Amino acid sequence: MTKRILLCEISDVPEGRPHQVCAPERDDALALYKVDGELYLTDDLCTHGLVSLSGGELEGKIIHCPLHGGAFDVTTGQATEFPCKRALRTYAVEVEDGKVFGLIN
């Protein structure tokens, strides 16, 4: 079942930089990205090195892991650079009245 979870205010999300969000309904953090005005949401934990991706560099739609330099496409979650091989989970995002919600299953 999909849950709609309040993540933050839209004004909290910087353009072109990852933003970590911690929702009380979850045990783990999520990473929110604003790329060309569009919002994308993924798990914040790298599938390879178990480090927070929100500490990495965002280049366009590609987030680079700060530990080993692997990378993921934030729009699809697909791993794009070695040593990352397994995709990130991605989630739908909704904005309503200036608030950002994640649709988490």
**pLDDT 10s digit of each residue in the chain, 105 long?**
899 999 999 999 999 999 999 988 888 999 999 999 999 999 999 999 889 999 999 999 999 999 998 999 999 999 999 999 999 999 999 999 999 999 998
Question: Going from the N-terminus, what domains does the chain have, and what CATH number goes with each?
Answer: 3-104 (2.102.10.10)
Strand 79-81's sheet: what is its strand order?
Answer: 57-59, 62-64, 71-73, 79-81
The two structure tokens encoding residue 16: 């072109």
The two structure tokens encoding residue 34: 């604003």
Give residue 52's Cα distance to chain centre.
10
Q: What pLDDT does 25 receive?
A: 81
Q: What pLDDT does 85 receive?
A: 94
Q: Which residue shows structure tokens 């729009």? A: 75
How far is Cα 26 from Cα 24, in angstroms, rounded to an integer? Answer: 5
Strand 30-35's sheet: what is its strand order?
Answer: 3-9, 99-104, 90-96, 38-43, 30-35, 19-21
Does the N-terminal peptide bond of residue 83 adopt cis geometry, omega within 30 degrees of 0? yes
Q: What pLDDT does 26 receive?
A: 82
User: What is the pTM (predicted TM-score) of this model?
Assistant: 0.94
Q: What pLDDT does 105 receive?
A: 84
Q: What pLDDT does 49 receive?
A: 83
